[in-house]
């Protein structure tokens, strides 16, 4: 047998998943930049220069603000909120950009459907928006509540989980415990055709 050719390890950007050298052609080069500067500076020498300039600016600004605030009486309290606002501004800036806007609102909708008068099915929609694997989730739900739980293609090609039995009240706690990514505020019930927040 011939000698095994060594497999090549390619540096992939965690932001856009492309090899680092293709980030500049990726969907969002701007977002990749911080990572690139740290991990693959040799690929983009121009970038490094830019960032250095920017950082210098930032530092000088910070120095300035600190100088101003420390001259005031209660300097520390004024400095802290200003920092907070600047970061939130950045987040807002990112949101309107192109594709992110299209993203659906992340929420889990729980609906109880009664059938045969005394039997019901609890439908959980939208768990997949939180990066939860639906097949896993249905298994967990079935185990927890000792009932049948299945992934069903709902209306408009969306996948949802059908759980047999009325579990609407325990399910909120269960969801927030098993998937910490799902905040309680994002869970809604449907009662009489109206959306009601669970929290």
* Residues at the contact surface with other proteins, assessed by CB under 8 A: 1-5, 7-10, 16-19, 21-22, 25-27, 133, 135
Q: Which helix (H) or strand (E) holds 172?
A: helix 168-178
Closest CB 152 distance from other proteins, rounded Å: 15
Nearer to other proteins, 29 or 174 (CB): 29
Nearer to other proteins, 26 or 165 (CB): 26
**Burial class of residue 116 in the structure, from the number of CB atoms within 10 Å of its CB (0-12 exposed, 13-18 middle, 19+ buried):** exposed
Closest CB 171 distance from other proteins, rounded Å: 24
Calculate the CA dihedral of residues 177, 179, 183, 189 and round it to 10 degrees: -80
Closest CB 191 distance from other proteins, rounded Å: 32
Closest CB 144 distance from other proteins, rounded Å: 21
DSSP for residue 13 = -
Closest CB 99 distance from other proteins, rounded Å: 13
Nearer to other proteins, 91 or 157 (CB): 157
Nearer to other proteins, 16 or 124 (CB): 16
Nearer to other proteins, 22 or 130 (CB): 22
Calculate the CA dihedral of residues 83, 105, 93, 25 and round it to 10 degrees: 120
How far apart are alpha carbons 157 and 180 in whole angstroms?
A: 27
Angstrom distances, CA of residue 75 to CA of 10, 69, 70, 165: 48, 4, 5, 58
């Amino acid at each position: 047998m011939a000698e095994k050719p060594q497999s090549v390890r390619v540096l992939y950007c965690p932001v856009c998943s492309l090899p680092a050298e293709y980030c500049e052609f990726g969907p969002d080069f701007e977002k990749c930049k911080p990572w690139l500067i740290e991990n693959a500076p040799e690929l983009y020498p121009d970038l490094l220069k830019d960032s250095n300039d920017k950082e210098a600016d930032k530092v000088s600004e910070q120095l300035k603000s600190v100088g101003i605030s420390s001259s005031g009486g209660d300097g520390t309290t004024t400095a802290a909120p200003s920092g907070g606002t600047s970061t939130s501004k950045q987040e807002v800036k990112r949101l309107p950009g192109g594709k992110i806007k299209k993203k659906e609102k992340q929420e889990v909708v729980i609906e109880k459907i009664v059938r045969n008068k005394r039997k019901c099915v609890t439908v959980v929609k939208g768990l997949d928006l939180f990066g939860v694997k639906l097949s896993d989730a249905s298994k967990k739900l079935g185990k927890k509540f000792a009932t049948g739980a299945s992934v069903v293609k709902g209306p408009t090609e969306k996948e949802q989980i059908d759980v047999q039995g009325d579990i609407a009240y325990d399910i909120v706690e269960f969801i927030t415990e098993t998937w910490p990514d799902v905040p309680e505020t994002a869970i809604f019930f449907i009662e009489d055709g109206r959306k009601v927040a669970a929290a």
